[in-house]
Amino acid sequence: MTKYVVILVGCFALVAAAATIQEVVITDFPLGVAGSVDQKIFEPYLPQIKAIADSVNNDPAARAIITGGADGQRYRTSHDAKNPSLALGRAHILRSLLMEQFGVDSTQILLRTEEVKEIGPQYRFVSLRLDPDLGKEEANLDLRMNELATRMDSLEARPPVEKHFTEVREMPVEEKESDLGILFGAGLSSSPFGGMPVVTSAFTYKRIVYVEGIVGHTWWSNTFTFEGQDLDTRRRQIGGHAIIYPWEDLPLGFVGGWLRTEEVAQDPYEYAKLSEGLVLGLRGSPIKNLAVTVAYNPSKHRIVTEPSSTSETDQFLIYLTAQVGIGGAR
């Protein structure tokens, strides 16, 4: 009885050992060689290769997976051997051996490549692995694809079904305009010393509150006489306004600010005339992009011949500017 038990255990061990022989790795391929090698390199591994080949030949669902490997060795300049082609070439050598010497069908062989950065003979390899179930997965996939194709054919054969559609219109989403904006303007302004061109720039809030800066300058000459000498002069103006439009439907607003006007003479005199003071008035827009400002300017005047400024209370100013705005909404 003991004898038969030992024989039975030995048979199980042999079967288990055969089952574990699922992969063989052949290393030490020569540098820069892929398409042809000495067949002696495979001789120590032929029993294992034959065992895997027999398993593939006996099971249509089994697949032989061959992986070719190349290391990170860089070859000399102008050499035509490259690592990816080396790895694939080594895999093809073993594929040819399986087909020609062991009769394995090419449809049951899968090729893969592997390239590593490490350098060494153990990374210049080709491996053979048995996958007993891969063919079953392929067969199941083919079966599912055929079933799907059959269903599609049956759907195409059905008579058309009348469909009713309800049109749904999406209301456009209006983008809310920003409360803040910028306003640019250019025009003409009066002054105590005559008219001049001006430019303006303002920050706006909801087109209700405006904070505006104004700059003006002439490019023509005027003449101011001092101690019998005619001086070429230029007029310039700088100031700031705060404007409030309290009514939404009425383009009329209140203006308040400060203004400084100069008539600048040539050297050695820096100023010939000076006027500065408060600005209070109204601004209206009779047509789009055009603003008219009328303001009271109780300013102080001074000229170089006077030691101090004198108060003037009868000065009125008029601005006429064309404007364009960016952003801002009520």
Domain residue spans of the chain: 13-134, 180-327
| Residue 9 binned pLDDT confidence (cut-offs 50, 70, 90) | very low
DSSP element (H, E) containing 15: helix 2-20
Closest CA to 292 of 300, 302, 281, 303: 281
**Sheet architecture: strand order including 23-26:** 23-26, 126-131, 63-70, 109-115
Res 199 pLDDT > 90: yes
What are the tens digits of pLDDT across the range 29-72? 887 766 667 778 888 999 999 999 999 999 988 999 999 888 88
3-class state of residue 108 by DSSP = helix
Whether residue 321 contacts residue 289, with contact meaning beta carbons closer than 8 Å, is answered with no
DSSP element (H, E) containing 1: none
Q: How much is the pLDDT for 75?
A: 58
Percentage with pLDDT > 90 across the chain: 28
DSSP code of residue 35: S
Closest CA to 98 of 124, 139, 122, 129: 129
Q: Is 103 left (phi over 0), alpha (psi -120 to 50) or beta?
A: left
Res 94 pLDDT > 70: yes
| Residue 81 binned pLDDT confidence (cut-offs 50, 70, 90) | low
Average pLDDT of the chain?
80
Q: How much is the pLDDT for 229?
A: 73
Q: How much is the pLDDT for 82?
A: 64
Res 238 pLDDT > 90: yes
Identify the residue with better confidence: 325 or 171: 325
At CB < 8 A and 24+ separation, what contacts does 180-183 make?
180/204, 180/205, 180/327, 180/328, 181/205, 181/207, 181/325, 181/326, 181/327, 181/328, 181/329, 182/325, 182/326, 182/327, 182/328, 183/210, 183/212, 183/323, 183/324, 183/325, 183/326, 183/328
Name the token pair of 255.
């203006």
Tell me the average pLDDT across 216-224. 80
- Tell the residue number behind the tokens 């209206």, with chain if given: 284
Res 297 pLDDT > 90: no
Neighbours of 166 (CB within 10 A): 4
d(CA 157, CA 149): 12
Q: How much is the pLDDT for 321?
A: 94
Identify the residue with better confidence: 159 or 1: 159
What are the tens digits of pLDDT across the range 178-192? 889 999 999 999 888
Q: Which CATH architecture fits 180-327?
A: Beta Barrel (2.40)
Q: Do domains 13-134 and 180-327 have the same CATH topology?
A: no
| Residue 5 binned pLDDT confidence (cut-offs 50, 70, 90) | very low
| Residue 168 binned pLDDT confidence (cut-offs 50, 70, 90) | low
> Which CATH number fits the domain 13-134, given the four candidates 3.90.870.30, 3.40.50.720, 3.30.1330.60, 2.30.110.10?
3.30.1330.60
Whether residue 235 contacts residue 198, with contact meaning beta carbons closer than 8 Å, is answered with no
310-311 vs 290-296, strand pairing mode: unpaired
Q: How much is the pLDDT for 21?
A: 47
Whether residue 239 contacts residue 279, with contact meaning beta carbons closer than 8 Å, is answered with yes
Tell me the average pLDDT across 256-270. 77
95-104, 182-191, 310-319: which range is least confident on average?
A: 310-319
Cβ-proximal residues to 142 (8 Å cutoff; 6+ apart), any chain? none
3-class state of residue 67 by DSSP = strand
Cβ-proximal residues to 25 (8 Å cutoff; 6+ apart), any chain? 125, 126, 127
DSSP code of residue 266: P
